[in-house]
Amino acid sequence: MGFKAGIVGLPNVGKSTLFNALTETAAAQAANYPFCTIEPNVGEVAVPDPRLATLAALAKSAEIVPTRLTFVDIAGLVRGASKGEGLGNQFLANIREVDAIVHVVRCFADGDVTHVEGRVDPIADIETIETELMLADLDSLERRVDALEKRVRGGDKDAKDTLALIQRALALLREGKPARLVERKPEEEKAFRMLSLLSAKPVLYVCNVDETSAATGNAFSRLVEERAAAEGAKTVVISAKIEAEIAVLPPAERAEFLATIGLEEPGLNRLIRAGYALLDLVTFFTAGPKETRAWTIRRGTRAPQAAGVIHSDFERGFIRAETIAYEDYVALGGEAGAREAGKLRLEGKDYVVADGDVMHFRFAT
């Protein structure tokens, strides 16, 4: 099950530098001019989770396999992208394919790095990007209305429901508000997702600060944090330059480097975890002598569907899930201790998998 977060922002805000650090590759070209990233670059990163090592030690596993997220480096948007300015149409299409948006905002002043608008104003930058996404959504929805109205007149109930959703979204967009604010019932969620609206995607703001502000943030990043808090979004403060330096250091030297700049861990770890939370994902584990592995599922996933993430046969032939909470697994010294203490539960098809569950699936072939 793949989950993608798209890294977006204006040109020269540090997107590609951040992506390079995330994937520890030079796959994305970081250059001081707009549109240096012509094709979206894709990289997979491991989600940091200290629980894995603990479980592996108890299960005496030969290998540890973390869960992963996919990041897509999307070239810089500019004002007018929704009308095809720059490489707008191509880039907006790339954003449509991701599950969430990581919006990198320039929160540093540097005369050597040009700003496409000629000034450093993170709130204006955010509004430029969001406006382009909303304009693209507005155009997309308005073009669907006539065809849906014809189907409604023909008695198509699904078309009627979809049109009602679209009208609610259009009302917000015309007020300059993103589609993610559309009020909807749980049963409408699937139909809403099918609309593929850019401004409906969850957003995480990444404040790219100068090196001296990596640990504390600065006045620019605090403006972004205030804006994010007002709209219920999250922020992460990172210095992309520092993260790029950390990424190429030998692991043994990273802790010392971080300590000298007042950080306990790389900012990328916080970014990855924040992206994981943004997508409302949870982790369950399988643990044994061969390997301890983390698996990614959406919060609310039931046991058979979680089993299907491992293999489709597990879901089709699902019988039950032998389940131990992470805390019980650790406190009781592993599976045998949990079983003896009565902490191994047999869960059926309706069980909603909890974050940290250590599971073994029984299935019929």
Rounded Cα distance between 21 and 15, Å, is 10
CA distances 80 to 101, 105, 297, Å, are 19, 18, 37
pLDDT tops 70 at residue 223: yes
CA atoms within 13 A on the CB side of 85: 15
Q: What average pLDDT score do residues 285-308 get?
A: 96
Is the model's pLDDT at 29 over the cut of 50? Answer: no
Q: At what angle do helices 251-260 and 240-247 cross, to 10 degrees?
A: 150
Residue 40 has pLDDT above 60, yes or no: no
How much of the chain exceeds pLDDT 90, in percent? 52
Structure confidence at residue 88 (pLDDT): 46
Tokens of 286: 């399988």
The answer to whether residue 80 scores a pLDDT higher than 80 is no
- Distance from chain centroid for Cα 78: 22
Who wins on pLDDT, 44 or 219? 219
pTM of the model: 0.81
Average model confidence (pLDDT) for the chain?
A: 86
Q: Is the pLDDT of residue 27 over 90?
A: no
pLDDT range class, residue 197, cuts 50, 70, 90: very high
- 267-280 average pLDDT score: 86
Q: Quick check: 190 pLDDT over 60? A: yes
Q: Is the pLDDT of residue 35 over 90?
A: no
- CA-nearest of 204, 209, 188 to 126 is 204
In this prediction, residues 234-242 reach a mean pLDDT of: 92
- pLDDT tens for 171-183 read 999 999 999 889 8
